[in-house]
Amino acid sequence: MSELIIAIDGPAGSGKSTVARAVAATLGWSFLDTGAMYRSICVEAARQNVSIRNEEAISALAERSIIRVGSRVLINDVDVTEAIRTDQVNHDVSLVATYPSVRSAMVDRQREFADGASVGTVVEGRDIATVVFPNATLKIFLTASLEERGRRRGTEGIESIQRRDEIDQNRETSPLRRPVDARLIDTTDRSVEEIVKEVVSCLESLPLK
């Protein structure tokens, strides 16, 4: 079991996935994109003709589905790596992510994933430092200007990311919050390399336990 966790949270387009993946590669740690898990449930719901508004059915589907998130994303053995990035999923995912039983099923799997890592895990999402790993080794909160986040998201559009931010910040269960003990990094106008260096040097400057 590994207890080394870098938790990276932040709104859509703040650079979480890019930074988290690069930090993990630099350190030789595992990487977990938790948003991909919530997204995969939307794809599976459409495949099974389950309405995303049916909380009970979506919760049951989330609890019994086998989700694998790595270089490819699979749900119940179907590769959904590309299917999780459509406009429809961008639209549906924040609603599915408000359902408490969906969240608790995903949180259990996220902790299991980190337990199985050989060295440490870089985990990114919305509630990683607050709920999933409140005792993470290092907590990072990424932000960027709305214009920059919209530019990074290209076709998704500013309105869609604002709508998701709004739902993610205001839901009752595990809303997107910046924990007081997280290091805030504004990624606007900064290169990925610079941010990765900052995160790695934060980790290296921690007192050895």
Binding site for ligand CDP (CB under 6 A): 12, 16-17, 34-35, 38-39, 93-94, 97, 125-128, 164, 168
Q: Return the number of the residue (155 or 201) whose C-beta is nearest ligand CDP.
A: 155
Q: Which residues contact 201 (CB under 8 A, 6 or more apart)?
A: none
Q: In the complex with ligand CDP, which residue's Cβ is closer, 37 or 117?
A: 37
Strands of the 67-69 sheet, one edge to the other: 67-69, 73-75, 78-79
The residue among 108, 97, 72 whose CA lies nearest residue 168 is 97
Give the residue with the Cβ less far from ligand CDP, 67 or 128. Answer: 128
Least separation, in Å, of the C-beta of 13 and ligand CDP?
6
Three-state secondary structure readout of 139-166: EEEEECCHHHHHHHHHHHCHHHHHHHHH
Instruction: Kindly state the smallest distance separating residue 17's Cβ from ligand CDP, in Å.
Output: 6
Residue 9 or 120 with smaller CB distance to ligand CDP: 9
**CB–CB of 38/96 below 8 Å?**
yes
Distance CA 8, CA 20 (A): 7
Least Å distance, CB 205 to ligand CDP, is 26
Q: How far is the CB of 28 from ligand CDP (least distance, A)?
A: 23
